Amino acid sequence: MKNIRERQRQRGDMKKDNREKDEKNETRKGASRPSPLQALSPCWAANCYGPRPFL
């Protein structure tokens, strides 16, 4: 009986680890978004293509 409980507990730990990995992946995806500074800069807003708003 103890072995089964032990295994279930380990499985629960693995689920927790996976959840933490998912959260890390979310933050890594967020890093590709423009930072607030970049979002405010007109060049970033125009993606550095086309007419510059400040010219």
pLDDT tens for each residue of 3-55: 877 777 777 666 666 666 666 655 555 555 556 555 555 555 555 555 555 55
Report how far apart, in Å, the C-alpha atoms of 34 and of each of 38, 39, 41, 54 are.
Answer: 6, 6, 10, 19
Please answer whether residues 43 and 52 qualify as being in contact, where contact means their C-beta atoms are separated by less than 8 angstroms. yes
Q: Is the model's pTM score more than 0.85?
A: no
